[in-house]
């Protein structure tokens, strides 16, 4: 990478900045602090909801701002509060569920609210909900209010197969992506992506796309990587991400993001 004056560094979390064991390495934390000290704005851009961000905020010293739920929520890591939200309307949620059930029987659904979580009894999530406000019931009952993200999981289909089917069937009514190797759809309001939220964040800071470097590993990172001036994939990234990257750095377990941040901070 040349010593271009990148003023904003935006990175995905899981599989990119965060190691496979769920930790943020000391080297990565130090690289983030060095980048911020060099005047580079840091943005954590993730599919995670805000309720999953507390450990990351603590590990990274409450550095930067986070774009959560694939762009639907803007979260201040310093104060740990949601400062902006773009939600899917309840009528749209129920319509999308009906359309997906027609073409992919066996799907189960859940929703990320702002705040809170709701899921069908058969939906299997792989994390602790803790003291989260949780609603359990049929989709038609729990999807009675706007949500930041609709989740749809299938136990038998392949991830890429389900994603392609959903994109075709929903035809732009909502934004559809996936950040998992499982058959798990992540659905947002129309036009909401990591890229749209990052573009708004950059615009408020007066930073053009050409001065943004973005890091990612999964298909939900593709809009952000396409928008940014420079796209960096970690070595463990999905083939579609590797195909569009301007640069491939080391894997998430080998501090790939830190390697690039150190170079950027040093160039400034």
Are residue 168 and residue 99 in the same domain, yes or no?
yes
Are residue 198 and residue 152 in the same domain, yes or no?
no
pLDDT digits (tens, 9 = 90+) for 95-118: 999 999 999 999 999 999 988 899
Assigned domain for 199 exists: yes
Residues of the domain holding 163: 90-188
**What's the CATH code of the domain at 130?**
3.30.1240.10
Q: Are 67 and 100 in contact (CB under 8 A)?
A: no
Neighbours of 4 (CB within 10 A): 13
Are residue 80 and residue 204 in the same domain, yes or no?
yes
Q: How far apart are the first and last CA of the chain?
A: 13
Give the C-alpha separation, 11 to 46, whole Å. 8
pLDDT digits (tens, 9 = 90+) for 189-241: 999 999 999 999 999 899 999 999 999 999 989 999 999 999 999 999 999 99
Q: In the chain, how many domains are there?
A: 2
| Residue 174 confidence (pLDDT) above 90 | yes
Distances (CA, A) of 34 to 28, 31, 178, 212, 263: 10, 5, 32, 17, 10
Q: Apex CA 110: angle with CA 108 and CA 114, to 5°?
A: 170
Give the model's pLDDT for residue 3: 46
Are residue 16 and residue 145 in the same domain, yes or no?
no
pLDDT digits (tens, 9 = 90+) for 26-77: 999 999 989 989 999 999 999 888 888 888 888 877 777 899 999 999 998 8
Task: Report the side by side order of strands in the sheet with 184-188.
Answer: 134-136, 117-119, 108-112, 149-153, 184-188, 175-177
Assigned domain for 105 exists: yes
Boundary-marking domain end, from 138, 154, 188: 188
């Amino acid at each position: 990478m040349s010593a271009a004056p990148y003023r904003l560094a935006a990175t995905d979390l899981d599989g990119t900045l965060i190691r496979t064991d769920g930790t943020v390495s000391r080297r990565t934390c130090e690289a983030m602090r060095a980048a911020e000290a060099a005047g580079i704005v840091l943005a954590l851009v993730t599919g995670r909801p805000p309720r999953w961000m507390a450990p990351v905020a603590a590990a990274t010293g409450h550095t930067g701002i986070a774009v959560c739920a694939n762009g639907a929520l803007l979260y201040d890591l310093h104060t740990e509060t949601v400062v902006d939200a773009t939600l899917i309307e309840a009528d749209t949620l129920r319509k999308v569920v009906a359309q997906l059930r027609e073409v992919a029987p066996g799907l189960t659904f859940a929703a990320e609210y702002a705040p809170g979580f709701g899921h069908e009894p058969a939906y299997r999530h792989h994390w602790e909900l803790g003291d989260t406000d949780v609603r359990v019931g049929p989709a038609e009952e729990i999807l009675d209010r706007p949500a930041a993200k609709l989740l749809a999981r299938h136990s038998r289909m392949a991830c890429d197969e389900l994603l392609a089917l959903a994109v075709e069937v929903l035809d732009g009514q909502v934004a559809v992506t996936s950040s998992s190797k499982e058959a798990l759809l992540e659905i947002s309001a129309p036009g909401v992506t990591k890229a749209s939220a990052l573009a708004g964040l950059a615009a408020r800071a007066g930073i053009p796309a050409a001065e943004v470097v973005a890091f990612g590993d999964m298909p939900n990172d593709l809009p952000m990587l396409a928008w940014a001036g420079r796209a960096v994939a970690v070595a463990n990234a999905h083939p579609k991400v590797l195909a569009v990257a301007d640069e491939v750095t080391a894997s998430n377990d080998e501090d790939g993001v830190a390697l690039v941040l150190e170079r950027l901070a040093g160039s400034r």
